[in-house]
Structure 1
Amino acid sequence: MGLGSERGSVQNPFLRYAEEAGWTYLPPEEALRLRGGEEVPVLRAVLVEQVQHLNPGVVGSATKAEEVVEGLLRVRRNIEGNLEAWEYLKGLKTVFVEAERREKNLRLLDPDHPERNAFHITDEFPFRSGPHRIRPDIVLLVNGIPVIVVETKAATRTEGIAEALDQIRRYHEEGPELMVQAQLFALTHLVRFLYGPTWNASRKALFDWRAQAGQVDYETLVKTFVAPRRVLRLLTDYILFVRKDGELTKAVLRPHQMRAVEKVLARAKDPGKTRGLVWHTQGSGKTYTMLTVAKRLLEDPGLQNPTVLMIVDRNELQQQLFQNLEAVGLGHVHLAQSKRHLRELLRQDTRGLIVSMIHKFDKADANLNPRANIFVLIDEAHRSTGGDLGNYLMGALPRATFIGFTGTPIDKSAHGKGTFKVFGGDDPGGYLDKYAIRESIADGTTVPLHYQMAPNDLIVDREAMEREFWAAAELEGVAEVEELNRVLDRAVTLKNMLKNRERVDKIARFVAEHYRQVVEPMGYKAFLVAVDREACGLYKEALDRYLPPEYSQVVISRGHNDPPALKRYHLTDEEEAAVRKAFRKPDEPPNILIVTEKLLTGYDAPILYCMYLDKPMRDHVLLQAIARVNRPYEDDQGRRKTSGLILDFVGLFDNLERALAFDSQDVEGVVEGLDVLKERFAALMERGHEAYLPLCQGPTEDKVAEAVLEHFRNREERERFYAFFRELEEVYEILSPDPFLRPYLEDYRTLAEMYRLLRSAYEPHVPVDKSFLRKTAEIVQAHTATQGVQWPTETHELGSAALIALLREERPDTVKVFNLLRELHRLVAAKRREEPHLIPIGERAEAIRRAFEERQLQSREALKQVEVLVRQLQEAESERAESDLTSEAFAAAWWLRVQQGLEGQGARAIAQRLDPLFRKYPHWAVSAHQERELRTELYKALLQGGVPPEQVVSWANALLDLLRRAS
């Protein structure tokens, strides 16, 4: 068994570990029997039995259970249908019980009693949808329903995870009836283990399971992920369907979110502790964590019908939270309309969920409700419970449990220490759960941030900043935008400087040029943060002089007494929702949003890359604002955002420690200057000069290509180069364009072409251009004739003639080998469905490529073996053109003669007997009955054709497996 093979090292161990964790393995043929055909995604026999078992008195017969199954299978083939399928799993669907003449809830899972469920796992799961046939590596089924689809890849596959994700995306397109039932998918190539929600197969929705399981071996990773009790909990409690601006999206909680939910639930059941503080850094999903906590608390029967109170401190946040509650399907919610209404709700012992703003507890009566099973979840706890409001809140609910949530670390001011005192007293270090900034970057939950100082003539006067902003006593622990604005309102000189028309015009021109040159080529968008609402209007007027008007949009709050100059920028709620929605999309304007308060907290737009900052900020406000650009993003071409950028026009980042009054370890890694990246780029290029560019010193391009290919035949050496170039490319993408890069450009292009050459030659299954980031892709496409490295020539005619032309080219043997192998790969990939006889040729070509790569073959021997394949291909084309056999029968004849060595007449005779059978049984690959009939006739044909009896079954299996692979 080869080290690192997909089946031996990844897929089979996964199956074995799942069995040891409590799943029952079904061989593919047994799973197909229980399904009743390849078009059926469920184990119908198992599901019918389990529906009756889990619903005694509700589903009393197999006929009734079949009706339930049919209803499940009729859900729409899109995300809406996936939501409906999840509602079945969650127990939200009902069935009419005639004996009781009413609807009763239907259960397809029992999450509280895992032993009552049937857990099956199977592999090589063939599924047919119309003309398409897919075959996921592993499928996990609970009570016969496919709930998790797993793609495994060999640990040695360079792009294993990316390939697996592409396959998951293809399954959604070609097998939607299967994927509409599945709720999760997982991808692994031994080293990494990622999971995500179906119907949201973007890279940003992929999460690393190691973050939950820790640095453990593959066995522990698999067993912790597939533990039956955990899978039931994942399916029923940690999946969220959310409607954002009218569009349904799906999410699954990340490991740190699940961890926090479980800790909060444990705290809720601990009679000795009634406080807790959860810090999950901005952009890591704090809102979804809170919503899941609320749902779990309300659904837990052990908490005896509790009251859950969700507290926010601003009307905007209350509306946002309320929309989220409705979006994720939380039941009836009480929204406290006034102080009096809130007190009535609490006095009347209202159960369920209550949403209120913190100020409605002002002067609240003591002991409004002394019940213990009241749970108060406080958003942005670092500011919500300041002053007397927190005292009134806790005095009104003396026995309640209070859990504070914050997206920023607690500051070192007296205010911050007070927050720790209120919420953190029951936990060492002050936090019940902590997910710091550095952790989120390491997990890929957020991306790193970089800053760049604007040119000196555009930065505001430092003396005015010092006098009117930094020296203000009110800046101690600033927690909200309104508080910051009050300080700025008194900074008259500073605000006038910031709104000076000449300065605004210069900055607008700079922003327009920077956006066009740096941000737009990457495919991203930007915020321009102005000091106040008037400044937003001024920036819009100025930007319109340098960019098309549709490029930018002002988003500000409306004021009744606003002058006409501001009213022209007022948006209705519907207009603002449309702007927010359009900004998230890559091909729609606006490209730049001009803001001062709105959207600086709570707005999530992953496409946002750059923040042009022209408003003095600090502490929580600054951290929340710059976190708008830390969301991961990937475009439709698979190109990913590797960082966010802050362009500073006010000088905040001259002294970041001063701007952020937090413990240094809490904000370590928040943001670093672009100068650091320039140093890193220079160091990487120096390494490239020493280790890789000397390979490009040959006298001719073909000799250079040969030297490069020969040098990198060792996989580990290639992997080191790939990792080196990816880091170099990411830094280049961020820095470009910059005069600093000019001396490096020619060498950078050469390294990029070297990367393309190696990917084309050694990884022919991976589209090379997709793996480049945008700016590198542009320079590679623009400079395809650069001296030095040359990658294999593109050929557009797929066939033996093109391959023979390559054989005759005057090129070094190494280059010829890779060119031919790559074109053989393309040919087989393009024609395997209609010409299955090509598959063995493609497999042999892949074996030669691997042997050559591992130095088991020298160039001359590899070229000879490839030449044999090309001649075989030419012969096959000639014979196929003259044959009137079906493609399957011709493939059988070719396989028997070339692969098994059967003499030509015997192979043709068997194929002629099989030809009418393939016409008679066209659905043999999906119909068990047709396959049995075909197999019986195939055995007879092989025996009559002279195949030894002891080899008939194995030959038949191999031949049918070949024909299945074609589909």
Structure 2
Amino acid sequence: MAYQSEYALENEVLNQLENMGYERVNIRDNEALIQNFREIVNERHIDKELKHKPLSDREFERMMTDINGKSVFDSARILRDKYTLKRDDESSVHIDFLNTEKWCQNKFQVTNQVSVQDKYKSRYDVTILINGLPLVQIELKRSGVAISEAFNQVERYRKQNFTGLFRYIQLFVISNKMETRYYANSDKQILKSHMFYWSNEKNERINRLEQFVGDFLEPCQIAKMISRYMIVNETDKFIMALRPYQVYAVEKIIERALETNNNGYIWHTTGSGKTLTSFKASQILSNQSGIKKVIFLVDRKDLDSQTLAEFNKFQQDSVDLTDNTQKLLKQLGNPMSRLIVTTIQKMSNAIKSGHSVMDQYEDEKVIFIIDECHRTQFGDMHRSIRQHFKNAQYFGFTGTPRFEENKSQDGRATADIFGKCLHHYLIKDAIRDGNVLGFSVDYARTFNPKEDLSEEYVKDIDTAEIWMAPERINQITEHIIHNYNKKTIQGKYTAMLTVQSIPMAVAYYNAFKKAKAEGKHQLNVTTIFTYGSNEDTHEEENYVHSREVLDEVMADFNQTFGTNHSTDYFEGFFSDVSKKMKRVTPGEKIDLLIVVNMFLTGFDSKKLNTLYVDKNLQYHDLIQAYSRTNRVEAETKPYGNIVCYRDLKQQTDEAISIFSDTDDTDTVLSRSYEEYLAAFEDGLKQLYLIAPTPDRVDQLEREDDQKAFVLAFRELANVLLMLKTFEDFEFTKAHLGIDEQTFEDYKGKYRHLYDLVKKRHDTGDEKVSVLDDIDFNIEIMRNDTINVQYIMDLISQLDLDDVHEQEKARKEIHKLLNKADDDQLRLKADLIRQFIDKIVPTLRKGTDINEMYYKFEDETKSEEIQTFAEEKAYPSEWLGSIIEEYEYSGNINKDTLDKGLDGGLFIRRKKSKEIKSFIIDMARKYGNFE
């Protein structure tokens, strides 16, 4: 019984895959797997390569010695290459294991319950075979088991099993019916953050297993995903799978390049992996006939060591960092060099050179992929390229396009240069999917203006007299020092300060240096900026050239870190600063980096969580700068911290609105603690007006009054959830105006009203009520910690040896169940109580408590189905089958349900309602949790 639901789920998946065109095969062990692989190799190559002579035993054995049991990385390479086999007669044949060009011309099979005896004996759920090799492994958990358990099971298999041909697994799919994810295989540790949702082209998630299988695992689609949309990372020796929005973007570019002569651009938010997307598009296009060259252009200042490393992951030695245009001209003249990665500046020089090699490109089809295409300098270069490359197409990538509001200096928007936006993935989408974080923005006033001198006026005139006043610089320096540990979680993360000019950067650097000498902090602070060879001194008194200043900064840096940098080799300093901004060890990392423009675009570090701003930013510059802080790391980094020492509230809201394509910025920006606290206080006043005490809720006899209470309490609970995320939060009456127990009492009244409405619906009461119009939003009542998974973790830790300790733990679980916030935990509470009171005391040491719980739950579920079926005179087997179908697909087939009914029309209609309600309740009660 413990495996019945998973077995039924397996059959649902197998049936669906079979209906989609997979051949269902009965492979139960390694020997059968190898034999099936041999038969398919012969079948696919018998006519042409093998010349109607199947592989002999010795030939097949030699091939298996070469390809079997390799690492996951090496297996991925073998899968995509031609294998040369020397036959017994000394002739050579070329075997391909995957048709990576014509995906539908592969052979698709599916099997289940393959039993292996590796380090431990195991049985795998559902295995998808392509050309006889197990390339996709699906691990399923019954509804009611967290999807993380499927992930953990795969991890166990990866460590203890998955040997031989199972090293060819490219993708894992894990699901508990309602939650489904996919991720790439690896020889290395796989983090849960590497699991991806699948979605449609509009970035809408496809979460339910049935829909996921129908879309993602369609035979041609999964073969295309493996062939085209996975990366063999040569640098780090692992394979990567693209996220859905990356796939759709590449598809759109390929379609437009091959079917039209039009340009286009991709709008994918900063931090969403544009480098990988754009390079993959370049790589695929470079292999298409009819395209002479694909040229990937980046700006010189973005081509730092990080970008170089990223590109070389996808294609080794693909980037030339030198300023030598001759190498570019040589690449342009080499017909074998189909993909070129170079800088905008170097391409501009090649065009100006007048070299004969450039003549051939006047009429050939060339594709230009432009990284960070919102940059103004591309607009200038675009004209010279267009004049020379007359048959070129241009595809841009940006996280912050130019629109009418933020058009470039020449008056053009991104669409004016590139035409249509082919695909977008906005910051709100990325935050929802957990690919980037939102922002928490603080605004700090840095001076008290006189009546006739407003801060807005000072901002407009932007005078050094005000902004660079020593008192102001020192005040901000002290503010950063005082709050540094709080913002960076005791130095776990790093911070940047961006300022208006090089003189301001130097002023701040000196202020921090002085404060350190006075013992006010122990932070490693440095600055970086570029300098001009012939700077205008403006006849300033005590003028010092910025290069001399930077040499002094480097000297301090060298003393701190034991390095040997100088301005003779700026790139080395730049690279070292980049590395030390990503380090975590105290003393080996830069704690605060002061910048003007550098590092505000293109720089990615998960360890950077705070940006201090003392300059005017707007539109794309603001989003680019803020986005340095929002790379996903750990739970201790819930959002990127932004502290503004200028009044940038309006600019921030405008930028978020533009680049979220919505007027609602709440998904991107967190409000301040003070704002949430004020909102809570207002909401509490409203609640007290309706019901001054929890007991007074019972006296609200008019439904309009009950509705007012529900709406008021719901809003209050929403605000409370946000307040809890701040360190300043204290659940005391002195701080909030209500103590925790009183709030819990109000919550109980709220739930009581919810239960009354639900009960009325469950009994089929057709009475119209104003409460029916309310979304009670029980989700807001869920406690962040105490949910089903939390309780199951406690149960799994019960001591089966020590009766006294076990009793203490059971009492604690009972207490948690009695005040359960989580809606599904309340549904399961009685089940859990019965299990820990009746079953746990009978278990022996060494028993898998979780497994026994699921067995108990399955048996109880079967009993409930049987009892209900007998009461309603409805076939129990039929009812169980309909429940399984609903759990899998989310649909109740009315025709199927009605076949089991008898009696008159009125009786059948009433019975049908009751059975539907029972099916939905069972799915909720025994459904999934995380």
**Bin of the TM-score, shorter chain as denominator length:** 0.5 to 0.7
Query: 1: distance between equivalents of 2:473 and 2:514?
Result: 7
Q: Per-residue displacement from partner, 1:316-345 (whole Å, max 9, x unpaired)?
A: 426544432321135766778445654565
Give structure 1 stretches of 5+ with no counterpart: 38-42, 76-80, 473-490, 698-720, 769-791, 858-967
Shift of 1:451: 0.9
Of the three residues 790, 793, 805, the one matched with 1:767 is: 793
Query: 1: distance between equivalents of 2:139 and 2:813?
Result: 42
Query: 1: distance between equivalents of 2:813 and 2:37?
Result: 63
Query: 1: distance between equivalents of 2:613 and 2:99?
Result: 52
Partner of 2:214: 223
Equivalent positions of 1:193-208 (< 5 A) are 193-199=180-186, 201-208=190-197
The alignment status of 1:252 with 2:241, answered yes or no, reads yes
SS in 2 for 1:568: helix
Partner of 2:225: 234
Partner of 1:444: 434
CA change 1:647–1:506 in 2 (3 A) is same
Shift of 1:265: 0.6
Q: Per-residue displacement from partner, 1:909-939 (whole Å, max 9, x unpaired)?
A: xxxxxxxxxxxxxxxxxxxxxxxxxxxxxxx
Partner of 2:131: 143
Give structure 2 stretches of 5+ with no counterpart: 532-546, 566-570, 697-712, 749-780, 819-828, 869-930
Query: 1: distance between equivalents of 2:841 and 2:175?
Result: 28
Shift of 1:195: 1.7
SS in 1 for 2:150: helix
Shift of 1:219: 3.4
CA change 1:468–1:823 in 2 (3 A) is same
CA change 1:94–1:441 in 2 (3 A) is farther
Query: 2: distance between equivalents of 1:183 and 1:329?
Result: 20
CA change 1:319–1:133 in 2 (3 A) is same
Answer yes or no: is the 8 Å Cα contact 1:311–1:378 preserved in 2. yes
Partner of 1:263: 252
Q: Per-residue displacement from partner, 1:538-558 (whole Å, max 9, x unpaired)?
A: 365367579997754536357
Query: 1: distance between equivalents of 2:719 and 2:210?
Result: 31
Q: Per-residue displacement from partner, 1:240-285 (whole Å, max 9, x unpaired)?
A: 2447xx75565321111111101111111124x2311111111111
The alignment status of 1:747 with 2:740, answered yes or no, reads yes
Q: Per-residue displacement from partner, 1:774-824 (whole Å, max 9, x unpaired)?
A: xxxxxxxxxxxxxxxxxx998646356765788999999997985783488
Partner of 1:67: 62
Moved more, 192-201 or 821-830: 821-830
Q: Per-residue displacement from partner, 1:612-670 (whole Å, max 9, x unpaired)?
A: 22333233222111112222333xxxx47543221212222254356789588368535
Query: 1: distance between equivalents of 2:816 and 2:340?
Result: 75
Partner of 1:418: 412
Answer yes or no: is the 8 Å Cα contact 1:333–1:353 preserved in 2. no
Of the two structures, which has the highest relative contact order with CA contacts closer than 8 Å and spacing of 6 or more? 2
Query: 1: distance between equivalents of 2:91 and 2:477?
Result: 69
Moved more, 596-605 or 660-669: 660-669
Of the three residues 356, 375, 396, the one matched with 1:404 is: 396
SS in 2 for 1:324: helix
Partner of 2:20: 21
CA change 1:576–1:761 in 2 (3 A) is same
CA change 1:394–1:100 in 2 (3 A) is farther
SS in 2 for 1:122: strand
Partner of 1:871: none
CA change 1:394–1:688 in 2 (3 A) is farther
Letter in 2 for 1:222: V
Letter in 2 for 1:821: F
CA change 1:119–1:410 in 2 (3 A) is same
Say what the alpha-carbon RMSD is for the aligned residues. Answer: 5.3
Query: 1: distance between equivalents of 2:594 and 2:132?
Result: 52
Letter in 1 for 2:147: I
Partner of 1:917: none
Letter in 2 for 1:410: R
Q: Among all aligned residue pairs of Structure 1 and Structure 2, give the percentage whose two residues are the same amino acid.
A: 19
The alignment status of 1:798 with 2:801, answered yes or no, reads yes
Partner of 1:537: 509
Answer yes or no: is the 8 Å Cα contact 1:242–1:324 preserved in 2. no
Partner of 1:633: 633
The alignment status of 1:173 with 2:159, answered yes or no, reads yes
Equivalent positions of 1:893-908 (< 5 A) are none
The size of the alignment, in residue pairs, is 755
The alignment status of 1:373 with 2:361, answered yes or no, reads no
Shift of 1:385: 4.8
Letter in 2 for 1:767: D
Query: 2: distance between equivalents of 1:61 and 1:606?
Result: 54
Query: 1: distance between equivalents of 2:428 and 2:21?
Result: 36
CA change 1:563–1:326 in 2 (3 A) is closer
Equivalent positions of 1:454-853 (< 5 A) are 454=444, 456-457=446-447, 470=460, 492-493=464-465, 496-497=468-469, 500=470, 502-520=471-489, 524-531=493-500, 532=502, 533-535=505-507, 537-538=509-510, 540-541=512-513, 544=516, 552=524, 554=526, 556=528, 561=548, 562-569=550-557, 584=582, 590=589, 592-596=591-595, 597-634=597-634, 639=635, 641-656=637-652, 662=658, 665=661, 669=665, 670-674=668-672, 677-678=676-677, 731-734=723-726, 736=728, 743-744=735-736, 747=740, 762-763=788-789, 766-767=792-793, 796=799, 798=801, 821-822=835-836, 831-832=845-846, 845-846=856-857
Query: 2: distance between equivalents of 1:72 and 1:152?
Result: 29
Shift of 1:223: 1.4
Shift of 1:394: 1.3
Answer yes or no: is the 8 Å Cα contact 1:525–1:608 preserved in 2. yes
Answer yes or no: is the 8 Å Cα contact 1:460–1:649 preserved in 2. no
Q: Per-residue displacement from partner, 1:278-326 (whole Å, max 9, x unpaired)?
A: 11111111111111001111223xx246311111122442654443232
Shift of 1:6: 4.8
Answer yes or no: is the 8 Å Cα contact 2:76–2:239 preserved in 1. no
Answer yes or no: is the 8 Å Cα contact 1:140–1:146 preserved in 2. yes
Query: 2: distance between equivalents of 1:796 and 1:855?
Result: 34
Query: 2: distance between equivalents of 1:830 and 1:380?
Result: 63
CA change 1:583–1:313 in 2 (3 A) is closer
TM-score, normalised to structure 1's length? 0.65
Moved more, 758-767 or 163-172: 758-767
Shift of 1:593: 3.8
Equivalent positions of 1:316-331 (< 5 A) are 316-317=302-303, 320-329=306-315
CA change 1:36–1:551 in 2 (3 A) is farther
Query: 1: distance between equivalents of 2:844 and 2:159?
Result: 19
Shift of 1:603: 2.4
Partner of 1:274: 262
Partner of 1:782: none
Shift of 1:237: 2.0
Query: 2: distance between equivalents of 1:162 and 1:252?
Result: 20
TM-score, normalised to structure 2's length? 0.68
Answer yes or no: is the 8 Å Cα contact 1:25–1:122 preserved in 2. yes
SS in 1 for 2:397: strand
Answer yes or no: is the 8 Å Cα contact 2:107–2:131 preserved in 1. yes
Query: 1: distance between equivalents of 2:117 and 2:693?
Result: 52
